[in-house]
C-alpha cells in the first residue's frame, strides 16, 4: 500500500501542468465489463468456453436489468493556448498529449491503465455534466 501511495504522489508531483481529477458513480453498462469478459477467454481452457459464454450471457443480462453502480475516474488536463496560430495549437496539443502519457505511465506502474475518451464519449460526458448542473 505504501508503494502504491508513493507512486501516486510521485505521479501528481511530476505533472507539468494543471489536472483535475473527477470520480463519479455511474450506472454500470455491459461495455464496462468487456475487458473482464475478454480476459476470461485468455485464461480459460477451450473445453470450458461454453461455461464462460454462459457466465457472460447471464452477467450481461443481470447488468442490463439492474441498476448497478460503478466508479469511474476522469483526469482532465489543461494548458494555455498562447495565440491562435496553428503552431500554438500544435504545441498546446503536444503538451496535453505528453501530460496524458506521463500520467498513464505513472499509473501503469501500479497496474492502473487509462483510456482516452473518444470525441463522442467526451461530448456525451460534458453534455451529461452540464445537464446535471442546470
pLDDT for residue 15 is more than 80: no
Q: What is the mean pLDDT of the chain?
A: 85
Across the chain, which distance is largest between two alpha carbons, in Å?
61
Closest CA to 11 of 133, 131, 109: 109
Distance CA 127, CA 12 (A): 28
State the pLDDT at residue 2. 84
**For residues 13-18, average pLDDT:** 74
pTM: 0.67
Q: Tens digit of pLDDT for each residue in 90-134?
A: 998 898 888 888 888 888 877 788 888 888 888 887 787 777 655
pLDDT for residue 21 is more than 70: yes
Amino acid at each position: 500500500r505504501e508503494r502504491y501511495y508513493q507512486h501516486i504522489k510521485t505521479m501528481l508531483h511530476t505533472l507539468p501542468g494543471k489536472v483535475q481529477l473527477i470520480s463519479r458513480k455511474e450506472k454500470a453498462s455491459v461495455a464496462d465489463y468487456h475487458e473482464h469478459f475478454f480476459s476470461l477467454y485468455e485464461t480459460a481452457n477451450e473445453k470450458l468456453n461454453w461455461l464462460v459464454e454462459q457466465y457472460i450471457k447471464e452477467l450481461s443480462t443481470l447488468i442490463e436489468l439492474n441498476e448497478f453502480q460503478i466508479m469511474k475516474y476522469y483526469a482532465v488536463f489543461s494548458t494555455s493556448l498562447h495565440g491562435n496560430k496553428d503552431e500554438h495549437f500544435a504545441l498546446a496539443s503536444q503538451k496535453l498529449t505528453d501530460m496524458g502519457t506521463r500520467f498513464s505511465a505513472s499509473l501503469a506502474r501500479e497496474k492502473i491503465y487509462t483510456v482516452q475518451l473518444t470525441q463522442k464519449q467526451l461530448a456525451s460526458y460534458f453534455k451529461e455534466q452540464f445537464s446535471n448542473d442546470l
